[in-house]
Structure 1
């Protein structure tokens, strides 16, 4: 977080071009995942396959993704689905003698990458340094999501969103939009699998969380300019697109455009913020955010015709226990205070994920304080949902500010990461009710970010 100045407004997009190189790893927090196959498919149709477990998983995914589009494409576009006619390629980038797939000059061009080649209507991936890494870090679901995303680009090609169209009308088809659409299509496919319609795949709530963990890994580096021709979107935008596809379906994805789709991608606007990686030190973060939260929620409560009493932000050396187990930050109904553990867990989480991981946890407890002030209950599932949603609404406020305390590039990604990994921000005032899985927590938070307090039933 940082002091805000005149900068990008919420959901602005100005990206320019599309590339075929689409899935490349950047550092991210691993999320455990489980196997998603119930029986595998012979990978013999994959060119360059070694017949091993990775290509068996990929073949299974590709087979069911193709089956999905056999039904979804006619329903969406009123045209029959045309399977890939350029082939599927598995490339051992560790083998100097490996043959290059289409759109490349040598096998090493595929290293750490998976992509759709529009000129050949083909999909290729690195069997040595990408898919095994995804599987080890995030489970089978990550491999499935990557391949569903690449098939999404094949769908775009059939829609007429070709490289020629992108070069001719870069403002109409910026890279960040086409990548979001592919993420959206992948989400629609996963919903189809989750509904039990897939012959070979079974993706439950736990593996959904791992899939989102993989999307975070594929985000743009923090501070990437929205005008960068290779920008693909931050974690918040990519997860948002995936969830929209999961919830809304392929017709929604196909209708995405620069006119109806916004993005939160930002570049750094100051050298100081860039040098800090967009993060304030732990103590400074608490000093900045607690009075800001007080001002924000005082405004909401006053607008509702109620009286706001500023919660006393109390630092503690141990995890708060004033009202059940809420994690390292707790709202204490008895004295209307917010206790913040400042010695171990919260500072470690701050250092591991970033300053807005701390921000989301504290904001959700102030959300409980606001709910209590307007006479709403602070116990149970509805309270847990409301607190998290209000943390999202506060996030919307600080993101859109032109001056004062505001978000830095990467803060929204930190929110997604902490919500996937922990349920602290989604617990009620007793700690006994919480929202799960992480996929659902991100959905609730997104509602507050995109719609404000109206999504939370307050204001």
Structure 2
């Protein structure tokens, strides 16, 4: 996070029920079921190619008939079957025509000429409108995706490229023209990917299956992996979006369908997109630009001030911060690296563990996440104190989602320009939140006892609800 510019709060009523601005629509009086993902039952079965299903009969140029090409061909066969049926449903009067060419190459071998470029040494997958083709690298890109995130990662990337074909074929019906910025096209393609992935999750695909638990998590982890680097401007030609932006667009498609994707335009991007370049205050303090040292008193004080400001009209007695470690609690199980004890209204911190989470991993190595992940974990436990003071149960079915939503709302408040001095979001911070939310041991979306919402998709969705819609929306939507 940055330091020295933003720490704003919206006023909330004592019960946190004031009106809030809404981006995606008001809650309809029913809290989402934490045992479901966008209406689908959470499942943890297999994800990937279905056993015993013959490969699709699809002609591919320059293929080698190997595993990666078969995976790609089956993906394109299914995604084109999907869009053939979806076009008349979502875009009346429109008919989907399959792409004219599908091309495979090995970036380690002899290049091929596609879309006015030679593929030698290019590990990529792409759609080309010049000849209506989809091309993939079977030598480096697809194996890396499969090895890192499973076979559905390959399906995800190729479905995204087919999303660009969908845009091209729809044209004005998808709000796409010759001068449309790349970020709009990429957000739409991510959204169209989400629509197709729901079709697979509903077991309608011939060649693939997708569990809504671990399988969908791996898809979202793929979206995280292919994000732009922190500090990229969404106005840059070729910008795809931060992980938070990309996952948000994917979720729009998964939950609301193809027509929602076509609504994404420049006006929406200007209001919603979070990707921005670093500014002068985003200095490198030894952990990369925009990352603060978690255990420095000035940052912890700024965090506490920011949280108090966010909930200043709640009427709650704010919790005391105990930095001496996690201690047993009389009325709740302890959690690490931060814990809230209702009995004594105390927020306890395990600073060494928070530092580990808050320290970004070095290139090519595993380790922590970044400062905002640690700050958001603390903020989630702080929000439990406010929920406790305002009469909410801390271990009911809604507690994890409500906590994630309130944490997202606090993050949204730190992103406002009309602010006093304090903590503010830096480029990459929200991506760090996504990384924590998709982790098996996520605490941002957990109740007071550390029981996390079982679906990573639902965790990120709840956090996003808070970020875009505010504190009161969280209480309306995620209340029993």
Q: Deviations over 1:55-105 (max 9, x none)?
A: 1111111111011001011212222211111x1111111113x433x2143
Structure 1 gaps of 5+ residues are 12-31, 302-306
Instruction: Find 2:396's aligned residue among 376, 380, 384.
Output: 380
Q: Deviations over 1:369-389 (max 9, x none)?
A: 111111211122212221111
- Give the C-alpha shift of residue 44 in structure 1: 5.8
1:334 aligned partner: 343
Q: What RMSD in Å do the two structures reach over aligned CA positions? A: 2.6
1:122 aligned partner: 133
Q: Deviations over 1:171-201 (max 9, x none)?
A: xx21111100000000000011111111111
* Greater fraction of residues in helix: 1
**Aligned partners of 1:208, 1:355: CA distance in 2, in Å?**
26
Contact (CA 8 Å) 1:47, 1:89: kept in 2 or not? Answer: yes
Q: Deviations over 1:190-225 (max 9, x none)?
A: 011111111111011211111111111111111112
Instruction: Find 1:279's aligned residue among 286, 291, 313.
Output: 291
1:142 aligned partner: 153
Contact (CA 8 Å) 2:318, 2:386: kept in 1 or not? Answer: no
Question: In 2 relative to 1, CA 121–184 (structure 1 residues): closer, same or farther, beyond 3 Å?
Answer: same
Contact (CA 8 Å) 1:208, 1:439: kept in 2 or not? Answer: yes
**Aligned partners of 2:4, 2:252: CA distance in 1, in Å?**
29
SS in 1 for 2:134: strand
Structure 1 residues 130-209: aligned runs within 5 Å: 130-160=141-171, 166-167=177-178, 169=179, 173-204=180-211, 205-209=213-217
Contact (CA 8 Å) 1:320, 1:329: kept in 2 or not? Answer: no
SS in 2 for 1:298: coil
**Aligned partners of 2:216, 2:47: CA distance in 1, in Å?**
12
Contact (CA 8 Å) 1:329, 1:338: kept in 2 or not? Answer: yes
2:66 aligned partner: 52
Structure 2 gaps of 5+ residues are 7-20, 23-43, 360-367
- Give the C-alpha shift of residue 253 in structure 1: 0.7
2:2 aligned partner: 2
Q: Deviations over 1:299-347 (max 9, x none)?
A: 3x1xxxxx32121111234x5542214331111000001111112x322
Question: In 2 relative to 1, CA 271–393 (structure 1 residues): closer, same or farther, beyond 3 Å?
Answer: closer
- Give the C-alpha shift of residue 42 in structure 1: 4.7
Contact (CA 8 Å) 2:61, 2:102: kept in 1 or not? Answer: yes
Contact (CA 8 Å) 1:40, 1:56: kept in 2 or not? Answer: no
Contact (CA 8 Å) 1:43, 1:51: kept in 2 or not? Answer: no
TM-score (norm 2): 0.82
Q: Deviations over 1:219-245 (max 9, x none)?
A: 111111233112111111100000000
SS in 2 for 1:260: helix
1:346 aligned partner: 354
**Aligned partners of 2:274, 2:336: CA distance in 1, in Å?**
29
**Aligned partners of 2:163, 2:449: CA distance in 1, in Å?**
43
Structure 1 residues 293-312: aligned runs within 5 Å: 293-299=307-313, 301=314, 307-312=315-320
2:118 aligned partner: 106
SS in 1 for 2:165: helix
**Aligned partners of 2:155, 2:284: CA distance in 1, in Å?**
34
1:82 correspondence with 2:88: no
Structure 1 residues 386-425: aligned runs within 5 Å: 386-403=402-419, 404=421, 405-421=423-439, 422-425=441-444
Give the structure, 1 or 2, with the largest relative contact order (CA under 8 Å, sep 6 or more): 2
2:278 aligned partner: 268
**Aligned partners of 2:191, 2:327: CA distance in 1, in Å?**
40
